Amino acid sequence: MEPIIKVRGLRNAFGEQIIHDNLDLDVLPGEILGVVGGSGTGKSVLMRSIIGLQEPEAGEITVLMESMRGKEEDEATDVRRRWGVLFQGGALFSTLTVAENVQVPLREFYPDFSRAMLDEIARYKIHLSGLPPEAAYKYPSELSGGMKKRAGLARALAMDPELLFLDEPTAGLDPIGAAKFDELTLNLKETLGLTVFLITHDLDTLYAICDRVAVLADRKVIAVGKIDELLATEHPWIREYFSGPRGRAAKPQGPRHK
């Protein structure tokens, strides 16, 4: 099975601070891959490297069978339209309504679409994200934190992506809101056939929806697999993260978990 995302030998540094060194990672078709790691391990930097917002010092990155290193922006257009990104906090344009935010990528890639077509697509994506229809006309300042996340998700879905990047999608949400967002993510993955690259620190999310989990530490991916497999490793950070009080509380009580 050819990976949707393949990273080999990645190196990222800011001055003398090395973030990643010889990092390897595969993301498989149709999976939700959770990416975890302590503060400063470069989870968001890794995502930004994959989508072309951070130029690595070394390494190879392939997304959807296309090499991403050294591509000019116009050369990456075909592959960029095949993914969607939800940045931390939603990253909505404050002067645009939710519908107008959803239409931003559509206007960029399909400038000939009519206003009626743009409005129809925006309404559908807003519905997919679980927002009420009237949210289309609201500005980000009029939305709750959870609604902003869903509006950002609607924009990420605008181009009918095959690949979805989610950066801390449940951060700042209450447990009920976070659980509903997890359920939405899983439903979208299954109904739309998405592959999801999910940065999170939420143990409940990892147990509830992730097929595999990649752990960043020591400047690279030190382990990747199902949570059961990670629990069998001896790395101190992994043991502390999954076997500490929060990890024990998040672990499902049934006979089987991912």
Query: 10 Å Cβ neighbour count for 62?
Result: 19
pLDDT of res. 258: 45
Residue 139's pLDDT band, with cuts at 50, 70 and 90, is: very high
3 band by pLDDT with thresholds 50, 70 and 90: very high
Q: What one-character-per-residue DSSP string does the chain give?
A: ---SEEEEEEEEEETTEEEEEEEEEEE-TT-EEEEEE-TTS-HHHHHHHHTTSS--SEEEEEETTEE-TT--TTTTHHHHTTEEEE-TT----TTS-HHHHHHHHHHHH-TT--HHHHHHHHHHHHHHTT--GGGGG--GGGS-HHHHHHHHHHHHTTT--SEEEEESTTTT--HHHHHHHHHHHHHHHHHHT-EEEEE---HHHHHHH-SEEEEEETTEEEEEE-HHHHHT---HHHHHHHHSHHHHHHS--SS---
Q: What is the pLDDT of residue 256?
A: 41
Residue 252's pLDDT band (cuts 50, 70, 90): low
Q: What is the pLDDT of residue 69?
A: 77
Give me the pLDDT at residue 243, please.
80
Phi, psi for 54 (deg, rounded to 5): -135, 120
pLDDT of 101 over the 70 cut: yes
Tell me the pLDDT tens digit for each residue of 166-210: 999 999 899 999 999 999 999 999 999 999 999 999 999 999 999
- pLDDT single digits (tens) 13-37: 999 999 999 999 999 999 999 999 9
Average pLDDT over residues 145-171: 95
228-258 as b/e: b if 16+ CB within 10 A: eebeeeeeebbeebbeeeebeebbeeeeeeb
The answer to whether 20 touches 45, Cβ cutoff 8 Å, is yes
CB atoms within 10 A of CB 141: 9
Q: Are 42 and 165 in contact (CB under 8 A)?
A: no
The fraction of the chain above a pLDDT of 90, given in percent, is 78
Q: In the structure, what pLDDT confidence band is assigned to residue 253 with cuts at 50, 70 and 90?
A: low
Q: What is the pLDDT of residue 18?
A: 95
Residue 81 is which amino acid? R
Domains and CATH numbers, the chain: 29-54+83-250 (3.40.50.300)
What's the rounded Cα separation, in Å, for the pair 58 and 56? Answer: 5
Give yes or no for residue 11 having a pLDDT over 70: yes
In this prediction, residue 257 carries a pLDDT of 45
| Cα angle, residue 6 at apex, residues 151 and 232 outer, rounded to 5° | 90
**Tokens standing for 35?**
């990416």
Q: State the pLDDT at residue 32.
A: 98
Mean pLDDT of the chain: 91
Above 60 in pLDDT, residue 248?
no
CA–CA separation, 115 and 157 (whole Å): 18
Residue with tokens 């072309």: 52
Write the pLDDT tens digit of every residue in 106-131.
Answer: 999 999 999 999 999 999 999 999 99
pTM of full prediction above 0.85: yes
Residue range 77-96, pLDDT digits in tens = 788 899 999 998 778 999 99
What was the pLDDT predicted at 77? 78
Q: How many CA atoms does the CB half-sphere of 40 hold within 13 Å? A: 4
Any residues with CB less than 8 A from the CB of 84 and at least 6 apart, and which? 105, 155, 156, 157, 158, 159, 161, 163, 164, 165
